[in-house]
Structure 1
Amino acid sequence: MAAALLSRVWSSSVSGPRYFLRCSATCSVEKWFSKQSSSDNRPKQPLTAYIRFYKEQQPFYKKQNPDVSVVDITKKIAHAWRELPASDKQPYEAAAKTDRQIYKEQMIKYKAQLTPAQEAALKEEKRRKVEKRRAARKKRQLTMLGKPKRPRSAFNIFMSEHFQEAKGISIQAKMKNLFDEWQKMSSSQKKTYQQLAEDDKIRYENEMKSWEEQMAEIGREDLIRFKNRRKLSKRKKTEKKVASKKRATTLKKPSGSKVASAAAKKTVKARQSEE
């Protein structure tokens, strides 16, 4: 069943032979758990069930489809894992659970031999990792909410235009050569890119203004830049006051029948006074 699933997932967009799961119910724990430690002798974190599955399947996908990108292969394997029956996932999950227990035991021994300074450094590293994950989650959230892209600098615009033809094999080499070329350019040569950068700033501010108004409407004031929070808050209060006044005026304003009745009464009184 698992083999048929993987074959169906892959063949839906990429032609090629079928692939079969290699990890059976006897999947060994030792195969997946690394007994090696990091440079500071700290135990390495064990692989998750999905990463085990990915590392096992990726070579077969890659070998049979060498022209397919890593991103597409990853998507296919991720989809295959989501569709994999619980019974086929069980060997990977069992191995991961066993390795987590071994990792916990090794970490207890590792922490017991640390000096106070080393323990403090370990806590600081953990704090940085947590912050990094939090920042990554926030970035994904902002992308989903459609936050405008930040404006590009003059050099960024220059680099994007000339990156393909830049000298160098690696990305770093290309960037270095472009930076050196940028440094040698005269002020007049840079002026075009600087103007484009100024235009991009205007684009960014206009898009951010509209986006922050949307965030205010859905109650996400926490995503609004601090300098604009007061402005938006003040404007919302003003709009509420105006709307409240309009409602009050509408309620106090007499209806058409009442106006007509009042006019009729005045006419009757006028006639009676004449008589």
Structure 2
Amino acid sequence: MAAALLARVLPSVSGPRYLLRYSHNCLVEKWFSKCISSDNRPKLPLTAYIRFCKDHQPIYRKQNPDISILDITKKLAHAWRELPPSDRQPYETAATLERQAYKEQMAKYKAQLTPAQEEVLKEEKRRKAAKRKAARKKRQSTVLGKPKRSRTAFNIFVSEHFQEAKGVSIQGKMKNLFEEWQKLASSQKQMYYQLAEDDKIRYENEMKSWEEHMAEIGHEDLIRYKNRRKISKEKKTVRKATSKKRSITLEKPLGSKRASSAPNVKKSEE
């Protein structure tokens, strides 16, 4: 069952040999990660800002019991920005001291690790950094108005029938909807497949316009990898055509001026 699940998650890779190797690597990495993530591993110290929030959040919650955590966080961020340097100093000093102690403890901790555990630690660090980078990129894309992905036929079916679906929990509703979808006749499914195809065309058209705009404002990193080279070539072609047109436009007045001045010279000579 686990192999079947992995085959569904990784449809582009087939073969039991790969699945076994993938499972084995995951288990080994998970085991090492568990070992090196024990209680002996030093914990990251709190930053000055987090210390400030930890001290003042209970006070803000008590003073404003009806507002949400998000609003309290905004108030704390504003208060931290407005905090005088003299009041910030204790938090920053405590954070600096703990950071130095953390570095010393981490050096001692790493000295006890085996080469295999060190490699797992580095891989875990790289994976977390990649995850943070992907999250930042996703947030930036959302802010810049990236179009929503196209929906599948089943997604469209779920969105239309979710409210009246049987089941108390979301999982229960989804399970019943999946069973209904499986029983649905091919002629009825065809309508959803057509809607999904239309939505795919919509997504591609909107993404093309959005990626062209991202290239114009200097956000090539947000463009899909397969389109980066294509858009770059199109930009170069447009730039060359524009510069060529500009050079022709600049040459025309000079030529006409010389042509118009020639008869005047001839008349003066006569």
Shorter chain as denominator, the TM-score bin is: 0.5 to 0.7
1:146 aligns with 2:139: no
Moved more, 152-161 or 87-96: 152-161
Alignment deviations for residues 98-118 of structure 1 (CA, whole Å, 9 cap, x no partner) = 222222222222222222222
Corresponding position of 1:25 = none
Moved more, 250-259 or 48-57: 250-259
1:112 aligns with 2:94: no
Corresponding position of 2:122 = 123
CA contact (8 A) 2:137 2:222 kept: no
Corresponding position of 2:256 = 255
Corresponding position of 1:81 = 80
Distance 2:236 2:107 in 1: 56
Trace 1:1-275 onto structure 2 (pairs within 5 A).
Answer: 39=38, 41-163=40-162, 167-169=167-169, 175-176=174-175, 178-250=177-249, 251-252=251-252, 254-255=255-256, 258=259
1:125 offset after TM fit, Å?
0.9
RMSD: 3.6
Distance 1:80 1:181 in 2: 53
Aligned in 2, Cα 1:103/1:256: closer, same or farther, shift over 3 Å?
closer
CA contact (8 A) 1:168 1:177 kept: no
Supply the AA of the counterpart residue of 1:138.
K
Corresponding position of 1:33 = none
Aligned in 2, Cα 1:198/1:44: closer, same or farther, shift over 3 Å?
same
Q: Which has the larger radius of gyration?
A: 1
Aligned in 2, Cα 1:97/1:168: closer, same or farther, shift over 3 Å?
farther
Aligned in 2, Cα 1:64/1:242: closer, same or farther, shift over 3 Å?
closer
Distance 2:66 2:154 in 1: 34
Give the % identical residues. Answer: 73
Alignment deviations for residues 11-57 of structure 1 (CA, whole Å, 9 cap, x no partner) = xxxxxxxxxxxxxxxxxxxxxxxxxx953531211111222222233
SS in 1 for 2:103: helix
For structure 2, the 5+ residue unaligned runs are: 1-35
Supply the AA of the counterpart residue of 2:97.
T
Moved more, 253-262 or 134-143: 253-262
1:130 offset after TM fit, Å?
1.4
Aligned in 2, Cα 1:256/1:78: closer, same or farther, shift over 3 Å?
same
Supply the AA of the counterpart residue of 1:140.
R
Distance 2:210 2:79 in 1: 37
Task: Normalising by structure 2, report the TM-score.
Answer: 0.67
CA contact (8 A) 1:38 1:44 kept: no
| Aligned length, in residue pairs | 230
Supply the AA of the counterpart residue of 2:118.
E
CA contact (8 A) 2:48 2:94 kept: yes
SS in 1 for 2:145: coil
